[in-house]
Amino acid sequence: MKIGVFDSGIGGLSVANAIKKAMPEHEILFKNDAEHVPYGTRSLDEILAFTIPVLQELVEEGVVCIVVACNTVSTNLIGTLRELFDVPLIAMEPMVKPAAEQTKTGVVAVCATPRTLASQRYAELKTNYADGVTVLEPDCSTWATMIETDQVDASAIRQLTQGVLSQGADVIVLGCTHYHWIEETIRQICSGKAEVLQPEQPVIRELARVLARLS
């Protein structure tokens, strides 16, 4: 079967690669929107207008489902997009629930785009699963562009990560697929101090369930 993977930029490529590794029997079609990346600081009307044509391309190429490997799109627009497309859309959103379940200090950090952090869905995740947990939201607004342009500032990443560690965070959530490309750097900084979570494996498990229903 053909599986579509969509993201604003190269972030979702890490998701597509993970799916290929887990499901080599399927054909993975990855599409992004390099012309308009990053999405995280744009208006919702802009993001929707950019997203629809790319998803339509995937549908026309015969995918049976699409992984929306963009937290910004998933947390803000997944309901609207599901009304527009007949194929199943698998959302990708910050792992607030597992972070809240795993923390021992009662402090977690969510690294995400401004648009994701401002979304109603993200607010719901915090209300439903992080009651009584302190959720730090450091300013990662420049990270997607930094990674997209291959101008990674290791010192800036270290400073931000050490900042949330100093505030007691023992779980750090990567709430943007671009950040998966610097996951190992963050893990090294957090070694012995905090766990780092990102949703590739849970999404692959959800994809397997969807494909089982379709087969």
Residue type, 76: N
The verdict on whether 190 is a catalytic residue reads no
19: number of Cβ within 10 Å: 22
- Among 65, 140, 176, 190, the one annotated catalytic: 176
- Among 65, 70, 140, 190, the one annotated catalytic: 70
The verdict on whether 70 is a catalytic residue reads yes
Give the residue numbers annotated as catalytic, written as ranges.
Answer: 70, 176
